[in-house]
Amino acid sequence: MALQRILCLGLLYHGVIAAPSGSGPTAPAAERTLKQQQQQSNTAPRKGLHGRFLHITDIHPDEFYKAHSSTDEEDGCHKGVGPAGPYGAETTDCDAPYSLVNATFDWITANLKDKIDFVVWTGDTARHDRDDDFPRTQDQVLGTNTWIADKFADMLKNEETGHGMSIPVVPTFGNNDILPHNILLPGPNKWLQTYTHIWRHFIPEVQRHSFEFGGWFHVEVIPNRLAVFSLNTLYFFDRNAGVDGCENPSEPGFKQLEWLRVQLEFMRERGMKAILMGHVPPARTDSKKLWDETCWQKYTLWLHQYRDVVISGMYGHMNIDHFLVHDTNDVDIAFLEGLSPEYGIREYLDDELTIQAGTDYLMELRDDWSKLKLPTMPGKSKEVNQGREKGRGRKPKRRDPWGERYVVSLVGPSIVPTYFPTLRVVEYNISGLENTPLWRDMPGNAKNSSHSYDAPSAPQKHLDLRSVSTDIDMSDSFEGVETNKKKKKKGGKRPKKEKKPQDPNLIMPPPPAKTSPPGPAYSQQPLSLTGYTQYFANLTHINNLNLTDLNSVEPPATNSLFSLLQSSKSWLMKWRKGKHGGKKPLTPKPDPREFAFEVEYSTFDDTIYKLGDLTVNSFVELAYRIGQSAKGKEVVAVVEDEVEDKEEEHDCYDSDFESDSDSDDEEVESQAKGDKKKGEKKKGDKKKEGRKGGRKKKGKGKKNKTWLHFLRHAFVGTLDKEELKRYS
């Protein structure tokens, strides 16, 4: 079986892609249609794919924002006199001025518009409801959403035809795009009906009617090749009191996941791939969560079963730059069947995270990542893969060489300057797709009407969502993952085969065929993500504020990051004035510098992240390095100051890949439990004793460089050296 998968993978590397089956026209037919259109219109040869797309999130436009206003809580950048800059007040709880929004779209027009294939827009396009003097209204919420939607349509209009759009935009709801915020009742309702009109440029016509019932849809951004699924995550959001999870068939969350299951099955039948996107990410730690547990469990299960289809997930909401690694071993089929209670009580994860709360959350992720199991890495040297088994006389385990146990979601930082305004351009593999028909070339798209390639899916709202057979062989799918835990408990005895789900409402999606190669999330092939470049606008420089000295107007002590309140809960409730809070401008009028985004970092040349691509194994390896010292593992070679030496190429934990991973895990357990017997054994081992005594003393007080680098980017470079050290 492994040989078959490798042969299939080789074909993919050479760009050989099977023609999509099932619904939708074949690629050759679509190409003939395209050539006929070009000959008839006598236009210039069409441009091909660029292999890039834009991710933009959390714009939060505020029509009441005033430059040089106060950033204090009672003023909120709406009144008073203070350090609010002409393009926004970075590191505060103020929303984005219209000047920032306009400048951002101008910059995208000048620098990105003609270099991307589509746009992923993950919601929150209305201001927060934080000022009692300016309460939000329905007209304001819908007004800013309409304004931004029209700006996208105008910016990306098809200049060749004079009407329609040149590339697709895929939007989704944010928790602040409705009233009251966080609460969206099951559809159809007035909000879904209104957004159907606001997003008329973006939702395929054949899906607009069904969109009114749930707020979810998908767009084939590359016809017959790639679809982007816009998920309405408000129906998964644990804070939405208007719905109740994804277990009951009457709930919109249940219906959405059933729709997703059926659509992903169609994608598989047609040989297509999918990117999932939404506003609220499926963030989950040992103590906190953003999604209802039933929704998280089903979503993670779906992604595992359709790992040959789904490329990645793109989310926003949290404003901080990070990624999530979902372990499918955490999925509990018995829980989904209602046969066992929810394990591990998790609290709400605050959606508006301060630096302190955000760091606490990231530290929990780091702790989880310290427990990750590194899969055998395809393409790595024998020393890397076998080193962890040294001295044990065992062959390296190859149960999961592609890391298919894990699923990754990317969470992008925001435009609203909670830190610095940020954009992300993601690149993907277009090998073998040079002659693929483009979205704008398909009949109907130029007029923003129906998508011909969606026509076969038009009856989707009438589909029996239970039509997919559940009589499947699970021996090479999810049940195999679950039984790994049980093998240890039974002393290596082969466990009995799990019974099929008894709950008729739970339909287990079929796994990939045993002979299919790993999907684009796990192995580089056409449509796999290869990397991204992150852009940010340094508002401290651009705003060019001439402010009073700290000594002349002394801010309250609680403004300092070093004067954190004793209770993290009270800190979460604290309004953020920003680093310039309490200061006042010395000049009557703003005098900003020219606005521009610049590169913050790129995964293609980041010498600390060392992400060769954005496959799951790459992220699992990075997460492992970030979390490596979280449980007391020894630090081998570290750099004391990451901020001053961020370009140094030596990774502080590379040598750990040559150690025995199992023995490392045992050492961690013994350190955590205080295992005296193992401690006595180590005393007799001079080699181990020397390593323990020497290197640990040498590394005392030094930091995990990869963790500091991750933390620095999480807050978009707004933390200075001393603040980074505090949270390390």
Reply yes or no on whether the pLDDT at 588 is more than 70: yes
Reply yes or no on whether the pLDDT at 217 is more than 90: yes
- Residue 341's CB: how many other CB atoms inside 10 A? 7
CA-CA distance, 580 to 623, in Å (whole number)? 34
CA-CA distance, 228 to 221, in Å (whole number)? 7
Upstream peptide bond of 417 is cis (omega within 30 degrees of 0): no
What is the pLDDT, as a whole number, of residue 669? 38
Token pair of 491 as six digits: 């002393």
461 vs 261, residue with greater confidence: 261
Residue labelled with tokens 């099929």: 500
CA distances from 35 to 46, 165, 438, 526 (A): 10, 20, 12, 23
Q: Do 369 and 408 contact (CB within 8 A), yes or no?
A: no
Reply yes or no on whether the pLDDT at 381 is more than 70: no
Q: What DSSP letter does each residue of 369-413 carry, written as one string?
A: HTTPPPPP-TTS-HHHHHGGGTTTT-PPP-S-TT-TTEEEEEEPP
Reply yes or no on whether the pLDDT at 520 is more than 70: yes
597: exposed, middle or buried (Cβ count in 10 Å: 0-12, 13-18, 19+): buried
Helical (H) or strand (E) element with 98: helix 98-111
Reply yes or no on whether the pLDDT at 317 is more than 90: yes
Q: How many CA atoms lie within 13 A of 677 on its CB side?
A: 2
Residue partners of 11: CB distance under 8 A and separation at least 6: none
The band of 465, judged by pLDDT with boundaries at 50, 70 and 90, is: very low
- Residue 605's CB: how many other CB atoms inside 10 A? 11
CA distances from 695 to 327, 642, 655 (A): 33, 20, 13
Summarised one tens digit per residue, pLDDT across range 182-204 is 999 999 999 999 999 999 999 99
Q: Which amino acid is residue 627, in one-letter code?
A: G
Mark 461-498 as b/e (b = at least 16 C-beta within 10 Å): eeeeeeebeeeeebeebbbebbbeeeeeeeeeeeeeeb
The band of 359, judged by pLDDT with boundaries at 50, 70 and 90, is: confident
Q: Do 214 and 192 contact (CB within 8 A), yes or no?
A: yes
Helical (H) or strand (E) element with 695: helix 686-698
Q: Do 415 and 319 contact (CB within 8 A), yes or no?
A: no
What is the pLDDT, as a whole number, of residue 701? 55
